[in-house]
Amino acid sequence: MPPPIPVPIRQALWQRARRGQSAPAIASALGLAVRTVRHLLRRLRTNGPAALSPSYHAQAAMMTGAMRQLHDAALQLRRDHPTWGAGLIRVMLRRQHPHGHVPAERTLQRWLARAGLAPAPKGRHPVANPQRAERAHEVWQMDAADQVPLRGGRRVSWLRMVDECSGAVLWTAVFPPSQLGNRPAAGCAAPAARGHGAVGAA
């Protein structure tokens, strides 16, 4: 909701209207929207001089019980989750009150501002992981899956090498499951798998 139009401007608007000026002429002279001028003139003609004062406080006092419940729930969601923005809070309110009239995101932002709850920080918080690779090929990850059933009933296994820094898949081998063979003698390296280089003595 925009800030209320100051009383002196309302008085000038009313005086110009009583002198016969049209709503577009008044709007141009006072820097207001024509729609706003027409709305104020309608209120002044209906309510008289009492309409010169803003009625925002009266509207706030008329908040229904259901809307008050949504208001309190929105503030509590922000207190419980300081990083949630008004958009996410609105989604959660719609889940909690599927049959209620959840206000617009802009209305929720005004509620939060009036309650002194600062806006949620923009974007996602950076997650620092000092152990994660920072350059390509600095660390490779090996992932394996065993006995994965296919639609035809057959089972397969696979090995996959992934670069930790970029997430790029470097190598994948898919093969049918098989029995483990004899292990190499102690102190001897096993033969390198296809796609891998020898790494030296075990």
Helix, coil or strand: residue 14:
helix
Confidence band of 22 (pLDDT split at 50, 70, 90): very high
- Quote the CA–CA distance of 113 and 123 in Å, as a whole number: 19
Backbone angles phi, psi at 45, to 5 degrees: -70, -30
Ramachandran sector of residue 123 (left: φ over 0; alpha: ψ -120 to 50; beta: rest): left
By percentage, how much of the chain surpasses pLDDT 90? 5
Share of the chain residues as helix, strand and coil, in percent rounded to the nearest 5: 40, 15, 45
Helix, coil or strand: residue 159:
strand
User: For 69-73, 106-110, 122-126, which range has the lowest pLDDT when averaged over its residues?
Assistant: 122-126
Ramachandran sector of residue 112 (left: φ over 0; alpha: ψ -120 to 50; beta: rest): alpha
pLDDT value at 11 more than 70? yes
pLDDT digits (tens, 9 = 90+) for 148-174: 788 888 888 878 888 887 878 888 888
Confidence band of 1 (pLDDT split at 50, 70, 90): very low
Nearest C-alpha neighbor of 105 from the set 93, 117, 118, 122: 93
The CA angle 153-159-165, to the nearest 5 degrees, is: 135
pLDDT digits (tens, 9 = 90+) for 34-73: 888 888 888 888 877 766 766 554 444 455 677 888 888 8
| Amino acid occupying residue 31 | G
Confidence band of 194 (pLDDT split at 50, 70, 90): low
Confidence band of 199 (pLDDT split at 50, 70, 90): very low
**Whole-prediction pTM:** 0.35
User: For 57-71, 120-134, 177-191, which range has the lowest pLDDT when averaged over its residues?
Assistant: 177-191
Report which of residues 175 and 199 the model is more confident about. 175
Confidence band of 100 (pLDDT split at 50, 70, 90): confident
Report which of residues 120 and 109 the model is more confident about. 109
